[in-house]
Structure 1
């Protein structure tokens, strides 16, 4: 259960995970156990070299405003893949920007993203993203009051292009392109979800895309970027005057962040590198030459916080499933205990789902619990 809607990519050309070797159509698909066994030697060799190389030096100032007044906001582990390592989020006491410190290095980004969106995790995440049609349509509809008939739309961090496929039903006259650092954009093009799929870094590709688009969207993408400021500059360059930039990101000011602590899914460590308060993003956009024409908090809220938090807690307490970064597969007792704990947790998961969807959802913005916000800005 991930809040990321698109496959992430580095903002300054840092490598993100490539798809693992593909099995040809003529070969039988290996079982999960076989895939894990095949991957284990590589992961064990990586871990034998130590974790220090996966992190950059710790910084003493805020990457958003430069202030040296930092305070640790969260210490946690990888609660989704359970890869080894400890991660720290610091918060600037002046501008309230929250960021990973120390940040993952290029090697760290590759290691911790590997087998999440591709490889072992590809099928599960692909099904999750492909099944969120209503959410994608709602995102596309948020543009209608301001630009009902955009000609060209670029979705940055498009993953496999599922948003573009759904958005076309809202904007049937619009040409949708996708950009992603992984081969997801190319796969989206082959699948017909986007007209053209660009693979690479947005800041590096921006010169060739300059002034080409009526709309650029970034849905749950900016928080994965190593340098979000460069991404915003690239968007300003790619959008023609009068066009729009549509951004949706986790809201670090959500009360859920404090109430649920490390069990709040949008922390998504170690993938989320920057969590930007809405006020900071508005100011940065204004400084770049945008006018923010809409800000939404209730609409982009994804009602999964209690469900996800409950599952993360149950999963953390249970023995691990078979994973290639573990030295050996779990034994029968461990497998049985994990299954038993998962079954015992079902009533709590059901209760959490009901509270998320039928109680909190209606009051999320009023109570300050919205887990995301959306800004629409017009390029002046």
Structure 2
């Protein structure tokens, strides 16, 4: 869902810093275009669409390609380290129904009950540790640790939501050295679609799992019928934050090649496709909201017009949300399901 500024006007200081960054040009935010699939190496690529940042209106246009051989969907050209820093630098504000989010996290944790009480569990990309907090209801004796690239993870530890916390990514040099084969469970919930190299993250995550332990993964499903119907307006297609969308068959094959056995795969459905698509489309045509990357703040008239039009179109978003929730029970086990969960048991040690 599109974010809203925390105050009517962002600070001049933040705007000046952002505009100074943009003054160096946006070309450096994108690498050269790939001629081959980053997953299977095939040159048979097809561009699905080119799209601006529909979520926050940051500058730039982004391409999304699909491999004709393995169906891997990816951003092409991809963000450079400078582009990742610019577009991922600010944490996303919380959106959606927090109660629904808690229910989804509890359902994810419940799926692990069949495999016993883990001694240690690392949640990757944990943020404020909402998932460990939800999982603790089912695993009260498990020590939950967290890894996240933002300082939020340290605040979560200070709030006793985590035993240990690291401000890092899985591929940060040296971060996994002292954690090798330490955990019974490592969870990657909606993380591999936002990393520049999902294979590298998978290898790093598996190195932290003990033989016999489990890797818990949830991802958007690019084979969902909603992905085809909604195209650029599908939530998991939003750019530039979704870098890779991995079909379930590709992830299964990769995990098996890394010495894992797939013990469970579930099709899931979060009822938000029509709601987010409607909101993105409406936001795209409304007067822009203020943001630090806009050189000139919107006038009072533009702000008032945006508010009035937003109020007038609210019934459309409400109708889309009602349709999403009404259809959800019917779509969960069909080709419209938008998410999948995979649980893999590590059979042999990571090289």
* TM-score (norm. length: structure 1): 0.86
1:272 alignment partner, one of 242, 246, 255: 242
- Report what 1:263 is aligned to: 233
Deviations along 1:202-252, one digit per CA (max 9) or x if unpaired, are: 133222111110000000001111111111111221111111000001111
Looking at structure 2, the residues matched to 62 and 269 of structure 1 have their Cα atoms a distance apart, in angstroms, of 18
Unaligned 5+ segments in structure 1 are 3-29
Please say if residues 36 and 323 of structure 1, whose CA atoms lie closer than 8 Å, have aligned partners that are also in contact. no
- Report what 2:110 is aligned to: 141
Q: Does 1:151 align with 2:81?
A: no
Secondary structure of the 1:335 match is helix
Looking at structure 1, the residues matched to 145 and 9 of structure 2 have their Cα atoms a distance apart, in angstroms, of 36
- Report what 2:12 is aligned to: 37
Q: Does 1:170 align with 2:138?
A: yes
- Report what 1:327 is aligned to: 295
* TM-score (norm. length: structure 2): 0.93
Please say if residues 232 and 238 of structure 2, whose CA atoms lie closer than 8 Å, have aligned partners that are also in contact. no
| 1:184 Cα offset (Å) | 2.2
| 1:325 Cα offset (Å) | 0.8
2:285 alignment partner, one of 310, 317, 328: 317
Looking at structure 2, the residues matched to 42 and 362 of structure 1 have their Cα atoms a distance apart, in angstroms, of 47
List 4+ stretches of structure 1 deviating above 3 A.
33-36, 126-131
Looking at structure 2, the residues matched to 191 and 128 of structure 1 have their Cα atoms a distance apart, in angstroms, of 23
- Report what 1:201 is aligned to: 169
Q: Does 1:237 align with 2:214?
A: no
Secondary structure of the 1:125 match is coil
Q: 283-292 or 89-98, which moves further after superposition? A: 89-98
1:67 alignment partner, one of 37, 42, 52: 42
Unaligned 5+ segments in structure 2 are none
2:337 alignment partner, one of 370, 374, 380: 370
Q: Does 1:85 align with 2:60?
A: yes
Secondary structure of the 1:330 match is coil
- Report what 2:258 is aligned to: 288
Q: What is the 5 A alignment of 1:102-117?
A: 102-115=77-90, 117=91
- Report what 1:26 is aligned to: none
Please say if residues 154 and 179 of structure 1, whose CA atoms lie closer than 8 Å, have aligned partners that are also in contact. yes
Please say if residues 129 and 162 of structure 1, whose CA atoms lie closer than 8 Å, have aligned partners that are also in contact. no
